[in-house]
Structure 1
């Protein structure tokens, strides 16, 4: 009876969805084979080596027959020496072939693994922000590490194992038939039940493997949530460390059960086959002694045949086990192909437009956007015109759509209606790399890499000089603080920047964006974590840098937007007021109400 997969978050049983069941069943072997297409010549060489090795190895039983039937009875020492030398030579040649075969096949397998890993990583890099908000971080990591890692044995050795064992089986069967076709029939009678039992075991392994990989993903999620800096801080402040340990322990226990079931699945069936295989030689000896066959076989032929029979069943068993491994690995391939088949929601255009000299005219034309799964539009019918070199400020209550508009400018999402243009060109007609060099974003959620301050800043411009890095830091009012550190710009910021305060992290992020010298600046609550004194200093830097640039500022503090050329007031995704600071105050509308409450 199968144990149902479980939800790693709650510890209870979780039923497989129909999509998951179909995914585990329907993986094209042809698609898997295409992974090896680029290496067909290496695989052809490996196949040739395997065939040659199989043919050479078949000489041993015939040499043995000659030793038993001729050399020993006739006491022909010279023939005996040559036959023994021949047997040693066969072993040496097949061993050399095996080394070369392993080297080539492992190289090919590792290259296929490398390509698979990089293809998945590159494809996920192209996914929209929506994918990452919908997907657990630990799930993504599990697909790239656990699932692809679990496929390694199959990818690196399965193809050569199939070719080697299949060639050996065919060649050995032919040699057995040449020695005695009657005894060959006795030996091969075990094949039908062996194939049937193997198919049963393969189906069991495949289901269990899919469950095990999902449990590993849940385990990764627990690790990510409990041992990241933010997760550890949350668990300590909420006192939930014990709950996390219990959750991790339960998930790990379920994983033990699945690992055991995976290893033991069908073992009693395969043990039955091993007993049958072991009994075949006894049946052969019995057959050789029956009245119809007595005297028709020499002792040497009988010994050579039983040797071949053992040689046959070893690759045959390996071939059947390889089939089981392939069937189990299909669950892993299904999970990887699921990610590779994800549609790219925000992608480069087929025929991209090059802007050349960028002026920075930004325009929203009746733009509507609804997040997937939501019924209410986050932005509805928004039309904005931000001429090049001007400043637009957006204000409004939380959830009014300000950050969504900022995300649309950076093309983190595409509008579901209307369009956003830059110098008259729809953002969807621009290359993403070109757009990222034009639009610089500083958001309220700062992310710093676990490396030095210098490398965090250089992340925005890999070829930036130290002087450029320091100039950007000065503009963001953070240079003096960095220089005062014992290691200066070579100070490690720590995981997610926990070496610095919120305001310091934001100023580093501002410097990182400014280092790219973008034509359009989007400041999404960029000064929200700064104290009043620091905010005024950074705002002065922004005012200087905004000259000649198009700047879109989102802020709750009205003091940071009063000097904007135009202010748009949003409510439930719509623009309810627009104008300058003085104009909006004179209207005594929503903006005036916000100003009085500030």
Structure 2
């Protein structure tokens, strides 16, 4: 990715957050200017100090102008020194009044510059942190808006790395832009102005060499950007390996694969080190070149000063001119050097901005209709009409031309071998994804035209491995209905046959379930998920074989809770164990994405087809 693309990515990334804070950005620039001006123009006071100390000048004779004319500062310093002389009763020819006058000016300049510097740093840091918080929320919102199809093809560790490490890199860019890239050039400009005031010809000669400081940034910036992008990609892979190792810690230990996983993690980290060091070498070369140019430039400047002193009278009778010029030019060089270093460090962050913009450029494939139609119930039911769905990563459709109706109040089971399309059909029904052909209708309304909030309110879902949040049992049950009262939560728990167990815990409903419900058994987690579905009270129930992963004792308790939950509701259930769906009103059989059979348990057995063969495989001793 070239420099323009990186800059465009960075600007596109921060533009929505930066523009509303434009007044604050302007304030940073203005305050930085005031703070820098105070530091630079304080140098001009060195001339009268040297004149007083080494030339015996008084407040009546000292001047700042090299042309022999009194400047505004000369006149005001003289007036202030006269006031100091009257106030202190200093004798004629005393240097004290002028020193007091200069000290007073320095204190005022220090107060103003210090306050401005404080304000610029605080506001700049606030803007940077605010941008990062807003950016993380924007990324999280966008990621949550993407379909499960996107999340199914992305590595969790890489996404985590982008939201944490890449956003932090972007914060560094913003910080550098607001501090180094704003304040340093302004401060350099003021120092150059001071140098021009005291020695204009020599300053112009020195300025010719300053562009050489930018040379390494131009030559090496591409290497820095590429190295940054590669190192961040390697870091994402490293985070993914670490996340996978700990998420699957039981499996890793069960197969004594600790060393294998650690070796994989080590390999990813070594890759990160290699890519990071390529970037570091480019950065180091940039900064080394900057130091070389700075010192060579200073050496050439000294030669120029020597020539002027030898063949002209530029510095005769006024030692303050040379001192002010040298300090001003040295500070200007230092500010320009820091600016070039900051530009190099900004290049390190450009790769992060491009990676983040890559997430935000992902199109949201499940979107709310511009004019959503309200849904208040299932009405005449749900229909799949010529519905086909294909994953972008595969050539073969996961489901093909499905024609199926779900009647209000019926229990419809979906069966088939692994990979037949059962979970995809359930995801389509939940509108986690949208069909690539055909449509799904609710009471005649295409789901894509229906209000997404209204549709989600119509169903409750219980999966095979329900997810519990790291919070209390009560909050987990009330997750689908945040406004539910404690009484309603307990009523749902009773319906799910989990209330008595919860009360047996020392903290009852306030018990923290730990990560993913690690402190609970599979059956307990499942019944909490059922209680969550009960509390939602939706007319459509979607079950992804909620008992297949349980032991026999837990399965009985969960199945009893499910039977009560299904009462009076329309139910779609994915079944792996056919014994659990004998009483289903109809059974849809999928094979390789096609709906090949549909009927009741007895009807399908009588046909002696795929369902009968699956049933025989599960019932044969």
TM-score (norm 1): 0.90
Change (3 A) 1:332 1:464: same
The one of 492, 510, 519 aligned to 2:539: 519
1:451 matches 2:471: yes
Identify the residue that residue 13 of structure 1 maps to in structure 2.
none
Alpha-carbon distance, 1:537 to partner:
4.8
Identify the residue that residue 190 of structure 2 maps to in structure 1.
171
Identify the residue that residue 162 of structure 1 maps to in structure 2.
181
Change (3 A) 1:240 1:27: farther
1:244 matches 2:261: yes
Alpha-carbon distance, 1:536 to partner:
4.7
How far apart in 2 are the matches of 1:179 and 1:578? 95
How far apart in 2 are the matches of 1:75 and 1:258? 62
Q: Secondary structure at the match of 2:448?
A: helix
Change (3 A) 1:32 1:373: closer
Contact kept, 8 Å, 2:375 with 2:455, in 1: the verdict is no
Task: Please list every run of 5 or more consecutive structure 1 residues that lacks an aligned counterpart in the other structure.
Answer: 1-19
Q: Secondary structure at the match of 1:429?
A: coil
Identify the residue that residue 123 of structure 2 maps to in structure 1.
104
1:59 matches 2:41: yes
The one of 562, 587, 593 aligned to 2:607: 587
How far apart in 2 are the matches of 1:542 and 1:30? 52
Change (3 A) 1:542 1:90: same
Cα displacement string for residues 123-144 of structure 1 (whole angstroms, at most 9, x for unaligned residues): 0011111111111110000000
Alpha-carbon distance, 1:337 to partner:
0.6
Alpha-carbon distance, 1:72 to partner:
4.2
The one of 464, 477, 487 aligned to 1:467: 487
The one of 84, 91, 94 aligned to 2:110: 91
Contact kept, 8 Å, 1:522 with 1:551, in 2: the verdict is yes
Contact kept, 8 Å, 2:513 with 2:519, in 1: the verdict is yes
Task: Please list every run of 5 or more consecutive structure 2 residues that lacks an aligned counterpart in the other structure.
Answer: 59-94
Contact kept, 8 Å, 1:447 with 1:496, in 2: the verdict is yes
How far apart in 1 are the matches of 2:518 and 2:184? 56
Q: Secondary structure at the match of 2:311?
A: coil
How far apart in 2 are the matches of 1:333 and 1:168? 28
Contact kept, 8 Å, 2:184 with 2:335, in 1: the verdict is yes
Contact kept, 8 Å, 1:360 with 1:550, in 2: the verdict is no
How far apart in 1 are the matches of 2:597 and 2:171? 60
Cα displacement string for residues 314-337 of structure 1 (whole angstroms, at most 9, x for unaligned residues): 221122122212222111110111
RMSD: 2.4
Count matched residues.
577
Following superposition, which runs of at least 4 residues in structure 1 exceed 6 angstroms of deviation?
A: 20-24
Change (3 A) 1:256 1:24: farther
Of stretches 259-268 and 549-558 in structure 1, the one that deviates more from structure 2 is 259-268
Q: What aligned pairs does 1:65-84 form with structure 2 within 5 A after superposition?
A: 65-70=47-52, 72-76=54-58, 77=95, 78-84=97-103
The one of 407, 415, 419 aligned to 1:387: 407
Identify the residue that residue 26 of structure 2 maps to in structure 1.
44
Cα displacement string for residues 356-383 of structure 1 (whole angstroms, at most 9, x for unaligned residues): 3543711111111122221222211111
The one of 12, 15, 35 aligned to 1:31: 12
Whichever of the two has the greater Rg, that structure is 2
How far apart in 2 are the matches of 1:226 and 1:555? 31
Identify the residue that residue 120 of structure 1 maps to in structure 2.
139
Q: Secondary structure at the match of 2:493?
A: helix
Change (3 A) 1:259 1:574: closer
The one of 440, 443, 447 aligned to 1:427: 447
